[in-house]
Structure 1
Amino acid sequence: MRAFGFLSFGHYGSEGGIDNFGARAALHQAIELAVGADEIGVNGAYFRVHHFAKQAASPIPLLSAIAARTQRIEVGTGVIDMRYENPLQLAEETAALDLIADGRVALGVSRGSPEAAHRGWEAFGYTGSTDPRGADIAREKFDRFMRAIKGEPVAEAEGLAPGSGPRLAIEPRSAGLEQRIWWGAGSRSSAEWVGAQGLNLMSSTLLTEATGASFADLQREQIDRFRAAYQAAGYSGAPRVSVSRSVFPVLTDEDRVLFRLRSGNGADQVGVIDGFRSTFGKTYVGEPDKLIEELRQDPAIEAADTLMLTVPNQLGVDFNLHLLESFAKHVAPELGWKPNTEGPVEGEPIGVKVP
């Protein structure tokens, strides 16, 4: 494990309610959590994106605020739903964010998870999808987004006859940003598509498949298929792979009360989501030695280079910093991790065809 970060769903309730935890509090606490995580040496601060719900929905302003107050931590998403996005506007905003962050962006995008609104992207003005889940427009938009951040011209210059002058690219642009785009895949077949595109893989918090295999084994197969497809497509470099887990080290009496209440039955769960039988990973709870042993036996964590810890953001900054620090001090080093002192994990350029 080369890197670990936190993944927040950004849940909140009502401002002025019993817990007084509305959108403002959730956003400010997300910034403070990222600042504290940066000081600990955690590698990444990532946020889920959902619309029409009381949780994080517009990530670029939040990530920009985090980037401006931190030095080393990677800032990103897990994931942005492309069905709801204007691809050229997202390209401009992401490039600006990456410039503010000095190249620390790791943007996860995908078709998106099931949303609260039926075909909610149409309320945003994006119609024409023939797929009931909108996968067709998501991938079409993603292609346009990627071409834009690479600097390809996308518009005719004003005042000239069509085709007679230079075409224009979006501004600003951030060199190398296309190397730090991840696609969130929720199945083995979608992971193969990601590999064929020469992208980084962000394996989902759930898989829309249920074969009888454990979540970790199914996810490991997904990762193996991704890497095989990447190589088969003729790309060089080593793309990054992330997986997410709920991991709660038990060190104090408070930990024993809170974490064991959240642990469930410690087993994978199978249910139906978005019309598919889906597999959800189990929660890891225990003393550090127990966690180290269990996580070492997780085949997907073994295959990935980045682990995202899902955090209960509603429990506040202090509690979640305690969780991250406990993992950083007592668990992560035994899995091969070293504190982040220089900035994001870097590797060979990816998505480049072998001559």
Structure 2
Amino acid sequence: MSTHPKKVGFLTFGHWQGGRGSHTPTATEALTQTIELAVEAEKAGLDGAFLRVHHFAKHLSAPFPLLAAMAARTQHIELGTAVIDMRYENPLGMAEEAAITDLISGGRLQLGLSRGSPEQAYKGYEAFGYIPQDGQSVADYAKDKTELFRAAIQGKGMVSADAGGRPSQAMLPVQPQSATLQNRIWWGAGTRSTAVWAGEQGMHLMSSTLMTEDTGVPFGELQAEQIALFREAWHKAGWVGEPRVSVSRSILPITSDFDRYLFGGHADTDQVGILDGARSRFGRSYVGEPDVIAQELQKDPAVQSADTLLLTVPNQLGVEYNARMLQTIATHIAPSIGWRPASESTEMVENA
């Protein structure tokens, strides 16, 4: 079990599309409402506002301008990604943008990275100019980029200084640097083996509502096994302290007839299917009366094991609806898993 205090935040894809009932018909609404929802989440005492990054789709893409804008409008809430597909990234340019965003936020950035999930575009990262070497898997390609990015944010020299048109022995790091950002890097793992790798590398773990493997056990049990393997690998590698672990869940409390109309028919059981050629297990949605959901979450072994729960929000329903939903979860559901509002958690730590 985690020794970190429980944290709860929201996770948004920032989807936009016109149509009946959509409050985000354009990218402008999706972006500005993401900022506003971060403000409302902080007012509700939640701990985090996280972005899911996709490319070639009507979802949030380049995260750092948006995260910087969210930082300018908030004071305490963690701001992060869950996750950035490293296949699409320039590690040194990303290191500069991440450091700038972290400095603007006062050290609140939590960066989730990964090898990426199936995208709408066929090898879209190649259109960005990033092509793996012959024989190199996309997973290894993403890991190599991640290693370079982490070296850059640790202040290691990346290029020789210019000595009158010749390289000198002095090596220059990227600038600016944010000294503690290196301690807030997470890896999005969809399997037990990648979670073990993340632990060996000394990164925190992000595990979502999808695992690209299936052993026949309920999703929460499979994910809890993944978390245990991750922590074991972290400690075996000799890293200091306790790693953080986040899981994401779709939690849709029904408190009105409108809620029931929207979500009453949502699946509340795991789903198993084939994704990217692998048999995969999708976690259930938690739909129902708040007290019933609270009881069910207490039986979810992965939620109990993790220190951070990310709530995937139906962002197209708008800020007002989602803010009210987050407040309901904060008031009637989250305390059942040991969460306390950010202000109360701070007071408990100070009085300990």
Task: Tell me which interval the TM-score lies in, with the shorter structure as reference length.
Answer: over 0.9
User: Is contact 2:49–2:80 with CA below 8 Å preserved after alignment?
Assistant: yes
Shift of 1:232: 1.1
The alignment-based identity, stated in percent, is 54
- Between the aligned partners of 2:213 and 2:138, the Cα distance in structure 1 is 19
| Cα drift, residue 18 of structure 1 | 8.1
Q: Give the partner amino acid of 2:276.
A: D
- Residue pair 2:250, 2:285 contacting (<8 A) in 1 also: yes
Q: Is the 8 A contact 1:80 1:112 kept in 2?
A: yes
Other-structure match for 1:188: 192
Aligned length: 343
What 5-or-longer segments of structure 2 have no aligned partner?
none
The one-letter code sitting in structure 1 at the alignment partner of 2:14 is G
**1:298 has 2:294 as partner:** no
Contact 2:39–2:74 (Cα < 8 Å) also in 1: yes
How high is the TM-score relative to the length of structure 2? Answer: 0.93
- 1:166 is displaced (CA, Å) by 1.7
| 1:83-122 superposed matches below 5 A | 83-122=87-126
Instruction: Provide structure 1 residue ranges, at least 5 long, that are not aligned to the other structure.
Output: 348-355
The equivalences for 1:124-203 within 5 A come to: 124-130=128-134, 134-159=138-163, 164-203=168-207
Report what 1:273 is aligned to.
275
Deviations 1:176-215 (CA, angstroms, capped at 9, x unpaired): 1011110000000000000000110001320000111111
Structure 1 residue 284, shift from structure 2 partner: 0.5
1:252-331 paired onto structure 2 within 5 Å: 252-261=256-265, 263-264=266-267, 266-331=268-333
Shift of 1:252: 2.4
Structure-2 change in CA distance of 1:48 and 1:20 (3 Å): closer
* SS of residue in 2 equivalent to 1:156: strand
1:21 is aligned to 25
**Greater CA deviation, 245-254 or 207-216?**
245-254
Contact 2:24 2:30 in 1 (8 A): no
Q: After alignment, is 157-166 or 13-22 more displaced?
A: 13-22
Indicate conservation of the 8 Å contact 1:72/1:341, yes or no: no
- Residue 70 of structure 2 corresponds to 66
Q: What is the CA-CA distance between 1:319 and the residue it aligns to?
A: 0.6
- SS of match in other structure, 2:162: coil
Superimposed CA distance per residue, residues 121-180 of structure 1 (whole angstroms, 9 cap, x where no aligned partner) = 110001134468611211111000000001011111012586644210010011110111
Partner of 1:186, secondary structure, is coil
TM-score (norm. length: structure 1):
0.92
Correspondence for 2:231 among 204, 227, 231: 227
